[in-house]
Chain A
Amino acid sequence: MTDMSVNKRAAILSFILLIGGLLLWEAAIPGQKAVGELTEYERLTGGGAQKAGVPPPSQVLEKAWEQLSDPFYDAGPNDKGIGIQIGYSIYRVLAGYFLAALIAIPLGFLIGMSPVAYKALNPFIQVLRPISPLAWMPLALFIIQDSETSAIFVIFICSIWPMLINTAFGVAGVRKDWVNVARTHELGALRTAFMVILPAAAPTIVTGMRISIGIAWLVIVAAEMLVGGTGIGYYVWNEWNNLDLTSVIFSILMIGVVGMALDAMFGVLQRFVVYSE
Chain B
Amino acid sequence: MTTPFLSVERLSQRYPDGEGGQTTIFENASFGIERGEFVVILGHSGCGKSTIMNILAGLAEASEGVVIMDGKEVSGPSLDRGVVFQNYSLLPWLSALKNVTFAVAARYPDWSKDQVLSHSKKHLEMVGLSADVFHRKPSQLSGGMRQRVSIARAFSISPKLLLLDEPFGALDALTRGTIQDELLKVWAGTNQTVFMITHDIDEAILLADRILLMTNGPFARVAESVEITIPRPRNRIEIVEHPNYYAIRNHLVQFLGKHSKELAGPTDAVENRPETVRIDKTAPAARSPKKLAV
Identify the A interface with B (CB < 8 A): 175, 177-178, 180-181, 183-187, 195-196, 199-200, 202, 273, 275-277
Contacts and interface: CB of A to CB of B under 8 A. Distances in A.
A199 B77 contact: no
B85 A275 contact: no
A178 B88 contact: yes
A195 to B, nearest CB: 7
B59 A177 contact: no
B81 A184 contact: yes
B167 interface: no
A183 B93 contact: no
A interface SS class: helix
B93 A275 contact: yes
B156 to A, nearest CB: 11
18 contacts: A177-B85, A177-B89, A183-B59, A184-B57, A184-B83, A185-B79, A185-B107, A185-B157, A195-B102, A196-B91, A199-B93, A202-B93, A275-B93, A275-B137, A276-B137, A276-B139, A277-B88, A277-B139
A183 B78 CA distance: 7
A83 B146 CA distance: 52
Contact of A185 (B58, B76, B88, B106): B106
Given A177-B89, A181-B91, A275 B83 contact: no
Interface in B75-121: 76-79, 81-83, 85, 87-89, 91-94, 102-103, 106-107
A272 to B, nearest CB: 11
A188 to B, nearest CB: 10
B77 A200 contact: no
Nearest to B159: A184
A187 B88 contact: no
A273 B103 CA distance: 22
Given A178-B91, A196-B91, A276-B92, A184 B59 contact: yes
Nearest to B59: A180
Given A199-B91, A275-B137, A276-B139, A187 B106 contact: yes
A118 to B, nearest CB: 22
Nearest to B86: A177
A202 B137 CA distance: 17
A183 B85 contact: no
Contacts of B103: 185
B92 A186 contact: no
Interface in B199-217: none
Nearest to A187: B106
A186 B79 contact: yes
B129 to A, nearest CB: 19
